[in-house]
Structure 1
């Protein structure tokens, strides 16, 4: 196919199949438990940081590419917001074509340049290219641009299922890599020379980095800050966003398609009469990382869709200078369906969103969302 459905849409289709084949449903494994993993050895950590050192400039240039019709919300916004907060690099949001980027499962933003404009301004290319998940892994303009940037010496970073885009660009041949748990089998099948690495949220091999699911872009961004500006700077930013300590450790066995996961998808999809649209007010200065995490999480419940609203027309500027377009222009939003704007640190905002989802729809739905985000929930 020339396009990829969103993970949550694909799972909805699987849910319908599960209704037909109950035997298959009950053959699925039960919910796994999260097992504490040993710390990453210092030598491995040092090697990862060294492999991500800026390849060209003392103050590196980071380009985050998206396609206009569908790029994953948190993959696109989180690295931008964290790196802009750190102020250790010049960061620019790109789109393959002019016009806004519609993110999935929620939000719409104005990119800061097209890939053609970027190439005209920076003929020597970026230091880093961050590739989010996209609705099409094989978008020809995106693939050609990513290959060109790699040839100019950029380090290419595939976030979550962005690894599939990186693979289709021909950059995973004979390299170690990882991706979102749901796409590991597909990625390995399509790129048989790729060597999958378990139990790591971030894998770097010969100027190509890949991560596990959506929330791994947070420790990835901090590791990139460490490579650019040192451990102390990365820790300071980590404290600001609510993640003072991090490394690449991961329990791959804790994330898989399970019976509770499928049953929640079926139950929440089937309860169509109780599906609801939840609003979050969009204001100038909003933290784009917290906004992305909150709206992404609430839009993956199969019970709700998060939308932004503003009291005035026109895009609102985020903390990091990104222009976000409200979904609706209204003076008020019904209090019962209002998501509070978060003043918490971004990592805490996600935890708070999962607590809110559990309170509204139950713990199984919160676990279902965390599994989609490949998020090892904190106690």
Structure 2
């Protein structure tokens, strides 16, 4: 008798959980809102550029800082790659501790220096500090260093959920800000922060924040325009394949929806068939296209992008950053080798990647990835 009671109790618990889960899914909104993002006035654009003018040097010094264990892939690499190719500033990637930076959800790199080495070489501090998303948003070493740089007059730029790191450093109190759509509620828990919707980039008194992952692309171009003028920004924009880069954004197009949740559940349940997809790591590889491709494929919940090379040595990227291969291999199985889209301009590489994800896993997974990247399609 007791086993029957236990069995029926177990079935009852399962049924209750399924009912709760079904109700939760039913209450989620359907497809996200579509439409045109509101225009940005000329006055607002000019104010943004003025607020981002170099605070110290004619040729600015830009530091991109991350913790060694899990800083976001595109947040860390895309600003570096775009700013390095512009050649309007000295750009350095930093880590809080010695050793490589393991990025998430993919790639591993050798930073130029630690924050201690940077401080010894540049006691006056940076002109700009770019803060990516980090798995530990309360890392004490990172927070203290970011606060110290702000005190030395650096403009702090929180990319994506890097805004939460900046908030935890106390630098967003009383200021306007934005962040990745998934973390807006977390940002709003800070009562002193005023969230701004419908803007990919918000600047307020020495601190800038952006929306989701791909927002670091227009952010970097805006920074180039503030440093070196419109013509230079236009040239770099053509090089990376981006036609527009102002702050326009439709926030309600990015939200936690029923299709998003169902795709996450379905792809997670397909745990028995995860794919390890290889990207050949070669000298001079475009770190921006690589970051976008590896990031996108590693967010499907069906696959993970891995780099491979013939040796374990770090391969220099287009911008001179050392990228460490995940696997030492001369080649990769053909059906699990990703298309050679790293040779395309970054924006086109991402577009082609989403098309390839659609073809491999279906349109819902492609939309699921684009939503995570906060990339308008």
TM-score under structure 1 normalisation? 0.94
CA RMSD of aligned residues (A): 1.0
Q: Is the 8 A contact 1:70 1:103 kept in 2?
A: yes
Q: 1: CA distance between counterparts of 2:58 and 2:19? A: 56
Q: Please identify the structure whose Cα radius of gyration is greater.
A: 2
Q: Does 2:369 match 1:356?
A: no
- State the partner residue of 1:346: 346
Q: 1: CA distance between counterparts of 2:119 and 2:51? A: 25
- State the partner residue of 2:260: 261
- State the partner residue of 1:114: 114
Q: 2: CA distance between counterparts of 1:258 and 1:244? A: 29
For the residue of structure 1 that corresponds to 2:123, the secondary structure is coil
1:82-101 C-alpha deviation (Å, 9 max, x unpaired): 00000000000000000000
Q: Does 2:241 match 1:242?
A: yes
CA gap 1:298/1:223 in 2 versus in 1, 3 angstroms: same
Give the deviation of 1:33 after TM superposition. 2.9
- State the partner residue of 2:6: none
- State the partner residue of 2:131: 131
Give the deviation of 1:225 after TM superposition. 0.0
The aligned runs of 1:109-188 (5 Å cut-off) are 109-188=109-188
- State the partner residue of 2:205: 206
Q: Is the 8 A contact 1:215 1:375 kept in 2?
A: yes
5+ unaligned residues in a row in structure 2: which ranges? 1-16
Give the deviation of 1:38 after TM superposition. 3.0
What is the number of equivalent residue pairs in this alignment? Answer: 360
> Could you list the runs of 4 or more consecutive aligned residues of structure 1 that deviate by over 3 angstroms after TM superposition?
17-20
- State the partner residue of 1:227: 226
For the residue of structure 2 that corresponds to 1:302, the secondary structure is coil
Give the deviation of 1:314 after TM superposition. 0.7
Give the deviation of 1:19 after TM superposition. 8.7
Give the deviation of 1:22 after TM superposition. 1.3
5+ unaligned residues in a row in structure 1: which ranges? 1-16
The aligned runs of 1:274-353 (5 Å cut-off) are 274-342=273-341, 343-353=343-353
The aligned runs of 1:31-50 (5 Å cut-off) are 31-50=31-50
TM-score under structure 2 normalisation? 0.94
- State the partner residue of 1:6: none
Give the deviation of 1:18 after TM superposition. 7.8
Q: Is the 8 A contact 2:155 2:207 kept in 1?
A: yes
Q: Is the 8 A contact 1:19 1:266 kept in 2?
A: no
